[in-house]
Amino acid sequence: MLIKLRTDLSQAHYPHPIIAREGWPYVGLSFALAVIVNFNFGILWALPFWLIALFVLQFFRDPPRLVTAATNVVVSPADGRVIAVMPMNDPWLNRPSIKVSVFMNVFNVHSNRSPVDGKVFQVSYHPGLFVNADFDKASEHNERNALCIRTSSGHDITCVQVAGLIARRILCYVDVGSVVTRGERYGFIRFGSRVDVYLPPEAHVLVVIGDTVSAALTAIADLPEA
């Protein structure tokens, strides 16, 4: 059952701009180009450039997501569509796990958020290819960055940012020793990608393939109480 968690935006100030800083150069360049073409050649010639500028603007939107939830809930780290739910070995911690993958298309919000409260005990970056992130082989062959997070109840969760076909930059702002909170913004991937979450095998998964999920707002699993 797909569960959307209650949010409360009045309790804290969201410390990030509504248009992500990661996109400011792209937004500025695309709008400047549209203005130049419009000024020199008119609105008809400039129309495609205005559409590109608006697309870039929407791609880098980053609305606030503040979530309150029970401590045993795992939330989606990304907006998008669930494309995989399967038992699988966690390649980062070398243990049995349940893998949940969320594919982000170019119309989704691309800031990534921590799925749980906990402490980061491992960060692993691997360069790689840029095959379509909708393909499962992207988890093994594409550029990727993995966070291993230990919750206060002792559960280990691995959250992996995976670059996609046209994604060319994974950004991660936490390191080993960082304490993260559920729904906290920790990274960004530019222009289409996926996020894989490796859960303990005893986790109760709440989503199925094809579900549309929202970062920080959709519960994807329950963890057993300590």
pLDDT digits (tens, 9 = 90+) for 52-91: 999 999 989 998 887 755 678 999 999 999 999 999 999 9
Q: Which residue has the higher pLDDT, 4 or 146?
A: 146
* Domain assignment present for 11: no
Q: Which two tokens stand for residue 84?
A: 């995989």
With pLDDT > 90 as the criterion, what percentage of the chain qualifies?
62
Question: Distance (Å, rounded) from C-alpha 145 to C-alpha 47?
Answer: 38
- Catalytic position from the list 97, 139, 193, 214: 193
Q: Is the pTM of this model over 0.75?
A: yes
Rounded (to 5) percent helix, strand, coil in the chain: 20, 40, 45
Flag whether pLDDT at 92 surpasses 90. yes
Q: How many domains does the chain have?
A: 2
Mean pLDDT (whole number) for 132-149: 70
Q: Which long-range contacts (CB under 8 A, 24 or more apart) does 29-32 make?
A: 30/56, 30/57, 31/57
Does residue 151 sit in the same domain as residue 55?
no
DSSP symbol at 135: S
Burial class (CB in 10 A: 0-12, 13-18, 19+), 161: buried
pLDDT value of position 83: 94
Q: How many CB atoms lie within 10 A of CB 26?
A: 17
Tell me if 2 is assigned to some domain: no
Residues 109, 205: one domain? Answer: yes
Cα separations (Å) of 89 from 57, 99, 129, 199?
Answer: 38, 8, 21, 10
Question: Is the Cα torsion angle 72, 218, 165, 106 positive or negative in sign?
Answer: negative
Mean pLDDT of the chain: 86
In this prediction, residue 8 carries a pLDDT of 46
- The stretch 41-57 carries a mean pLDDT of 93
∠ CA 205-210-211, rounded to 5°: 60
44 and 154 assigned to the same domain: no
Same domain for 85 and 30: no
Catalogue the E-assigned strands of the chain.
Answer: 3-4, 73-75, 80-90, 95-104, 111-113, 118-126, 144-150, 156-163, 170-172, 179-180, 185-189, 193-199, 204-205, 212-213, 218-222
Percent of the chain at pLDDT > 70 equals 84
What is the structure's pLDDT at 9?
A: 44
**What is the CB neighbour count within 10 angstroms for residue 66?**
17
Can 152 be counted among the known catalytic residues?
no
Cα-flanking dihedrals φ and ψ of residue 135, to 5°? Answer: -85, 140
Q: Is residue 175 part of a domain?
A: yes
Same domain, 90 and 158: yes
How would residue 17 be classed by pLDDT, with cut points 50, 70 and 90? confident
Give the model's pLDDT for residue 167: 52
Give the model's confidence band at 23: pLDDT under 50 very low, under 70 low, under 90 confident, else very high.
confident
pLDDT at position 129 is 59
Please check whether residues 54 and 79 belong to one and the same domain.
no
pLDDT, one tens digit per residue, over 161-178 is 988 665 557 889 999 999
Alpha-carbon distance of 97 to 177, in angstroms, equals 23
pLDDT for 128: 63
Q: pLDDT tens digits for 185-197?
A: 999 987 768 899 9
Same domain? 53 vs 76: no
Same domain? For 78 and 176 the reply is yes
Task: Give the per-residue pLDDT at 10.
Answer: 37
Domain range enclosing 48: 21-59
